[in-house]
Structure 1
């Protein structure tokens, strides 16, 4: 589709389905945040006249390829997934979330797992983590959450009071907090951890049929985690341990690999599933929706220049290709704007034209000017649309498949508020040794909190997930489970 010289494209090379009408909830609106083409046009225009990442500042990256091992074209028309054996070049960036660019690799933190597929229909970015869930489920809470993970504005020190105050007032965080404080909170290496798309996405096939999907990258190296004491030792002696390990493994020809699986949910199941399938703090049971193999990702080439490739790499969950679209996940909806806008600010309005981000598909649009525009800037060609000079136009076949929305325009929460069943199930799945380490890690992290009410509030959440869980943490902190639980 994108090979047609008359097709209008996004800056990541994907065809545009409609350049005359923005995406709205019904004919009268309001406009939808998931209209990433609209957001890109407006945000790029704002930057046409002439830092370190806010999150995920410390990272490592590598090149490789993705090879399809199972035909799932019955579910998606995405070209790079169209046939068994098809290979697509890709780049991945692993990262920690909260620390600065000079922080240690072996801290307890989620790991970013961002994959850029250079497909024939434009770049597809899958921007996830090494956990299947997240701390919050609405993007409006993201700046506040990240503020708690950063430094106190007066002392410039990490602030456990802020961390646990926020979590204790945001019970939806309990699932991710339990994972973070478990053994999985400190991976042994970047090669020895799984990756997840985390959000729910929409797949559309050639006939326009819709399914909901979740992505799971399973490491072929096996899952390995670091002992707390060893992690602290490495943080002091070799803070770049994970970066070094990944580079050395690839340089030695020990190419790390992951199998990609998806869970597929029929479109109508979203209305009846026992958890809201668009709530990123929840997982789907693999008994209900088993893992289906898609392909294999192999990392086989190190960057030639860290700054040019890893530091300037930009990823956005809004970089879709035909056959893959957004779901109503509220956290995802906010990220569709926030990530690309962060790159326009940090790297520049033309970040997608840098070699590491440049799509293999030809880019044809009417975006002009902006800082560091190192190409031809469109030359003397027509620079607006619609026009009668034969410039590129939209491809109706690339329009997202509509889905029904209803209700009043209002600020509302998800209907489902069971924040305790899944973390409780996770706790009960752990071995006794794993539970003991989990409790020790939580007690160690909460001990510096100097307000008892924050500790008691958080203990109450652990207790609601599993009474033993809460009781053990309370005992470790020298407190009792609140009577009000």
Structure 2
């Protein structure tokens, strides 16, 4: 935890109460789920969701398409989800791809993670899988998310993204190192949305008909092959065609070249999670494939463009809290924070009835709720009872939970996650660097050096912290980066 410098005034809530811990979310024991009583977290997330209108705070710039998920493996031993229940079963899907930091008018061909969001219109309701094109993320606790995004957005004084802010946060948050290596490597700028992988990124729970629970990670491997752009190629393309990725997806589907992805999962029995090398609920970590092999379960194909971008892409609303029977959350802190934040953002941005819009409402079943009124309400319930329980034959609870219970223990409080034997912020970042061929390593150093060298001349402390984190991941990477940055800064 960061220490309080006596020269700095204490951080407070919006109402002036001092904040004791701004780095760790309050949980039920060190490894348990988040607590609603952590109002510092919910105040930060709720306020963050309302900072811009009407476009999305993050992932504003995007493109979408409809398609089909086809199950190719019997996974009933792990989950009772109906859309995964038999080989050959098809489920309609809407996909949205996006950049993260740019606004609605930003260029597509930039160095940025890509959102990879899917809405499965299943017969048991909609299931949303809201991921990225990287298997990890920058941070592991949702309390840090608004602060992180502020460093990526426009500075309140200059109105531009500032390298000082970016690298100050990265250097003071070593957990970002793994994702930063991904971002500044070759895959940091996909050539198109069709030529990138997708990942659920978070850990989710699957549970079967017998009540057994499993932890799962999703992988979507592009059947078109990985294709990327160099920084130089991207700069030219972004200037020539800011809509390059959106245009590529739309025109490929119009030509009948339907993009597809092979869907695989990694699975860990819930009882084994505590004993594995890395914390399985840490979003800054991957599960090594040698330990937990990929299992193919299906195929995703996109074959229909939206008729209206605003109605179907801009108003599409995804939330990781949209589960179906057999699938549920895990104690992943970032996921737990997103369970609240995404739905709250859509209620603010689109309206409390966002899920009644055609792109968002269930297609294979009917939503039966007691929600009424508000912006966009279409009066579908007429004069039916708007409360429950009632004696007028309205919908009633099933008594059947969607997912298996998770055991928790320990005192409430602001906890760091319980450590696993190989947990640190640098091992996997170093492993990723050493997996790269020499030419990609060279491009990584060039990309990082170019960004770090842009830090203000009087902020060598920011530069030194950034380089030190990469040196802890791999000594050779750190040495090469230090030399490259010094050369660019003329030191």
- Asked whether the two chains share a fold, i.e. TM above 0.5, the reply is yes
Which TM-score applies when normalising by structure 2? 0.87
- Equivalence for 2:371: 367
Paired position in structure 2 for 1:444: 450
Which residue of the partner structure matches residue 20 of structure 2? none
Distance 2:304 2:36 in 1: 36
Deviations 1:136-189 (A, max 9, x none): 000110000000000011110111100000011110110000000000000011
- Give the secondary-structure state (helix, strand or coil) at the position aligned to 2:182: helix
Alignment partner of 1:423 out of 421, 429, 434: 429
1:127-276 matches, cutoff 5 A: 127-276=130-279
Give 1:397 deviation, angstroms.
2.0
Alignment of 1:25-64 (within 5 A): 32=35, 51-64=54-67
The Cα RMSD (Å) is: 1.9
Farther-moved stretch of structure 1 (413-422 vs 206-215) = 413-422
2:6 aligns to what? Answer: none
Aligned to 2:294: 291
Please say if 1:349 is aligned against 2:352. yes
Q: Give, in angstroms, the shift of residue 372 of structure 1.
A: 1.1
SS for the counterpart of 1:217 is strand
CA distance in 2, matches of 1:232, 1:253: 29
Deviates more, 1:320-329 or 1:387-396: 387-396
Output aligned runs, 1:370-449, within 5 Å.
370-376=374-380, 378-416=381-419, 417-449=423-455
SS at match of 1:407: coil
String of CA shifts for 1:254-312, please: whole Å, max 9, x gaps.
00000100000111221111110000000001111100001000000011110010010
Q: How many residues align?
A: 440
Which of the numbers 122, 126, 129 marks the counterpart of 1:123? 126
Shift in alpha-carbon separation, 1:298–1:144, aligned structure 2, 3 A: same
Report if aligned partners of 1:33, 1:334 keep a CA contact under 8 Å in 2. Answer: no
**Deviation by residue 1:406-443 (Cα, 9 ceiling, x = unmatched):** 11100111233501100000111111000000000000
From 458, 480, 484, give the equivalent of 1:472. Answer: 480
SS in 2 for 1:191: coil
Match of 1:69 in 2: 72
With the length of structure 1 as denominator, give the TM-score of the two structures. Answer: 0.88
Offset of residue 228 of structure 1: 1.4
1:358-417 deviations in Å (ceiling 9; x for gaps): 1021111111111110242x2111111122222211112234321110111001112335
Q: CA 1:379–1:131 in 2, change beyond 3 Å: closer, same or farther? A: same
Deviation at 1:32, TM superposition (A): 4.5
Partner of 1:78: 81
Q: Is the 8 A contact 1:129 1:197 kept in 2?
A: yes
* SS of match in other structure, 1:478: helix
Distance 1:407 1:471, change over 3 A: same
CA distance in structure 1 between the aligned counterparts of 2:160 and 2:316, rounded to whole angstroms: 29
1:457 aligns with one of 456, 462, 465: 465
Whether the 8 Å contact between 1:33 and 1:333 is mirrored in structure 2 is: no
Go from structure 1 to structure 2 and tell me whether the alpha carbon gap of 1:87 and 1:465 turns closer, same or farther (over 3 Å shift): same
Q: Which runs of 4+ in 1 moved over 4 A?
A: 29-34
Q: Distance in 2 between matches of 1:471 and 1:56?
A: 34
Whole-Å separation in 2 of the counterparts to 1:185 and 1:375: 46
Query: Aligned partners of 1:298, 1:399: CA distance in 2, in Å?
Result: 27
- Contact in 1 for aligned 2:34/2:336 (Cα 8 Å): no
Q: Contact (CA 8 Å) 1:33, 1:337: kept in 2 or not?
A: no
Tell me the distance in 1 between the aligned counterparts of 2:354 and 2:184: 36
Distance 2:59 2:264 in 1: 25
After TM superposition, the structure 1 = structure 2 runs for residues 74-113 of structure 1, keeping only pairs within 5 Å, are 74-113=77-116
Q: How far 1:33 sits from its partner (Å)?
A: 5.2
**Is the Cα–Cα contact under 8 Å of residues 320 and 339 in structure 2 kept in the other structure?**
yes
**In structure 1, how many angstroms separate the alpha carbons of the residues matched to 2:464 and 2:324?**
47
Distance in 1 between residues matched to 2:418 and 2:452, nearest whole Å: 31
Unaligned runs of at least 5 residues, structure 1: 1-23, 44-50, 480-485
Q: In structure 2, how many angstroms separate the alpha carbons of the residues matched to 1:30 and 1:457?
A: 32
Distance 1:30 1:116, change over 3 A: closer
2:50 corresponds in structure 1 to: none
For the 8 Å contact 2:327–2:402, the answer to whether it is kept is no
1:190 is paired with a residue whose SS is: coil
Structure 2 counterpart SS, 1:356 = coil
User: Greater CA deviation, 410-419 or 277-286?
Assistant: 410-419
**3-state DSSP of counterpart to 2:117:** strand
CA offset digits 1:171-216 (Å, max 9, x no partner): 0110000000000000011000000000000000011100000000
Q: Distance in 2 between matches of 1:390 and 1:101?
A: 45
Q: Partners in 2 of 1:33 and 1:134 — Cα distance?
A: 24
Tell me if the contact between 1:179 and 1:185 (Cα under 8 Å) persists in the aligned partners.
yes
